[in-house]
């Protein structure tokens, strides 16, 4: 009778690292400013750090007949994407 070998990855397995308890945070909406806040288990607002803003857009380009390429001309079009990222601290 032949024995099926164990899968190759099982020899690389080890025990899980000790888990740590992650504090409970809850998102809430400030009724006055209508801005989302994150609060801890004691109801204190948690600072989540700075977040930047960005803009993105597509700029179309196109060539049409009559560009000097001959009778009928050539049609070609494409888009160029621009992306600007604000620096946040």
Question: 0.75 exceeded by the pTM?
Answer: no
The two three-digit tokens of residue 61, written as one number: 């380009």
Residue 63's pLDDT is 64
Give the C-alpha distances (Å, rounded to integers) separating 31 from 23, 49, 50.
Answer: 24, 21, 22
Do residues 17 and 11 make contact, with C-beta atoms less than 8 angstroms apart? no
Res 85 pLDDT > 80: no
pLDDT in tens, 44-66: 888 876 666 666 666 766 666 66
Residue of higher predicted confidence among 17 and 50: 17
- DSSP state for residue 45 in the 8-state scheme: B
């Amino acid at each position: 009778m032949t024995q099926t070998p164990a899968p190759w990855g099982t020899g690389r397995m080890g025990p899980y690292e000790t888990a740590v308890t992650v504090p409970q945070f809850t998102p809430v909406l400030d009724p006055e400013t209508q801005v989302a806040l994150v609060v801890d288990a004691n109801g204190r607002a948690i600072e989540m750090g700075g977040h930047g803003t960005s803009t993105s857009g597509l700029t179309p380009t196109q060539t049409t007949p009559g560009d000097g390429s001959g009778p009928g001309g050539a049609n070609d079009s494409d888009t160029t994407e621009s992306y600007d990222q604000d620096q946040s601290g």
